[in-house]
Amino acid sequence: MESSAALISSPIGVLAVLAFVAAFFFAIEQTTKAKLFQYLPPLLFIYATPVFLNNFDVIPSASPVYGGLSAYLLPAFIVLMLIKVNVPAVVRVMGKGVLVMLMGTAGVMVGAVVAYMLVHSWLSDDAWKGYGALAGSWIGGTANMAATAEMLGTSEEQFGLAVIADNVIYIVWLPLLLMSRDFATRFNRWARVPTERLEAMDAAAELHVEDDHAPTMPQYLFLVAIVIGVTWVSTSLAPEIAGSIASRAPGLSTVFGESTIRILLVTTLALLLSTTPVSRLPNSTAMGTAMIYVFVAGMGARASVAGLAEAPMFVAGAFVWIFIHGLFCLAGAWIFRVDVHSVAIASAANIGAAASAPIVAAHHRPNLVPASILMALLGYALGNYLAPLTGHLARMAVGQ
């Protein structure tokens, strides 16, 4: 489809449409309080709406805006999300619950490979890239899904399948995590949880106080400078590093391409900054999250409706996948003797990320809400490293 055929074809017009779509569904959610959004999060509508706007010639399928989102917006929201990672704090509060989350992460990786082996024959040859993107969401969150899609070169259609599967599983998995509270006594007895664990966790939670506040103008400037600086350094170094890998280890060049190196550099630099006073700059997570939704809208604007026909088998594999993740979480609970509240929060931090972990924490133990957000951010820190690896492991498992 040519850009000139679209009703709105100017780059600024396209960007305005994407921003409006992202804002519109959150405005509807907040003003109507409709229960629909408890089952179908705004993310699904933010992705799907531009798909139809593109296919009905309202906006183009090709625009300079889309390349700009990958080049500039993607590294920006990675930095903004990751500079708030606070590993020591989450370990202090959640203790061995962090180990359960890591077990859940391992379950996501293993589950992806097993599920892809079962359903790949019904999917496109590049569906492993969609599974890699979904692994990004389930290890960390939507930011990792977007970043992994960029690293693997995931098509817009495969990204759309990942979004669909993510939301279908969310509808089933979140209620299970919430309902698990009703079985706390029996679960904790089965997992041999020490009686003092919950008391120690509550005491640690009381010591952790969130001190985020409204940012000042200079703090906004500091954030802008940091984001642009990290993006510049990573973009400048990536071609040279990718070229060096290609010349010294040609077999790795397909895994560590320039785009992958760039995002891994952004991720690593942001995590290093999280150990400095930069982590105390307020409001970065909210800013980064807003950018993510505009980026997802841009992914939808390039997709074709026809490419979503594989959804049933893609989602069927995702159900196998989430079952394996659940088994790993249960194994982690038994091995490390961790209570059901921490297990539910750990799984939510993986599968639902920062949007769902606080919901689960508030239902199980409200004083763990701040720690649940920190745990979700820990998933963000892992996602950009482990999700692309998961995609490649799935590809290699079937000989692609």
pLDDT tens per residue across all 400 residues of the chain: 444 578 999 999 999 999 999 999 999 988 988 878 877 788 889 988 998 899 888 999 889 999 999 889 999 999 998 998 887 877 777 788 889 999 999 999 999 999 999 999 999 999 999 999 999 999 998 889 999 999 999 998 899 999 999 989 988 898 899 999 999 899 999 999 887 777 777 776 665 555 556 788 999 999 999 999 999 999 999 999 989 998 888 878 777 888 899 999 999 999 999 999 998 888 888 898 899 999 999 988 888 777 678 899 999 999 999 999 999 999 999 999 999 999 999 999 999 887 788 889 888 888 787 778 888 888 999 999 999 999 999 999 998 8
Cβ atoms within 10 Å of 10's Cβ, excluding its own: 14
Residue 132 near residue 387 (C-beta atoms within 8 A): yes
- CB distance 99 to 114 below 8 Å: no
Residue 265 pLDDT: 95
Distance between CA atoms of 287 and 80, rounded to whole angstroms? 7
Whether the pTM exceeds 0.75: the reply is: yes
In this prediction, residue 22 carries a pLDDT of 94
Q: What per-residue confidence (pLDDT) applies to 34?
A: 83
CB 294 within 8 A of CB 22: yes
Report yes or no: 374 and 86 within 8 Å, Cβ to Cβ: yes
Interatomic CA distance for residues 391 and 11, integer angstroms: 32
Are 288 and 77 in contact by the 8 Å Cβ rule? The answer is yes
Q: What is the largest CA-CA distance in the chain?
A: 67
Does residue 197 contact residue 95 with C-beta atoms inside 8 Å? yes
The pLDDT assigned to 212 comes to 57
Is the distance from CB of 356 to CB of 362 less than 8 angstroms?
no
243 CB-near residues (< 8 Å, 6+ apart): none
Q: Say how far residue 208 (Cα) sits from the centre of its chain.
A: 25
| Per-residue pLDDT at 252 | 81
Collect all residues with Cβ–Cβ distance below 8 Å to 309 and sequence separation of at least 6: none
- pLDDT computed for residue 210 by the predictor: 55
The Cα–Cα gap between 146 and 159 comes to 8
What is the rounded distance in angstroms from the CA atom of residue 285 to the CA atom of residue 377? Answer: 10
CA 243 to centroid of chain Cα atoms: 29
Q: Which residues contact 114 (CB under 8 A, 6 or more apart)?
A: 320, 321, 324
Q: Residue 169 has what pLDDT?
A: 92
CA 171 – CA 361 distance, rounded (Å): 17
pLDDT of residue 2: 42
* pLDDT score of 313: 95
Q: Which residue reads 């990942």 in tokens? A: 162
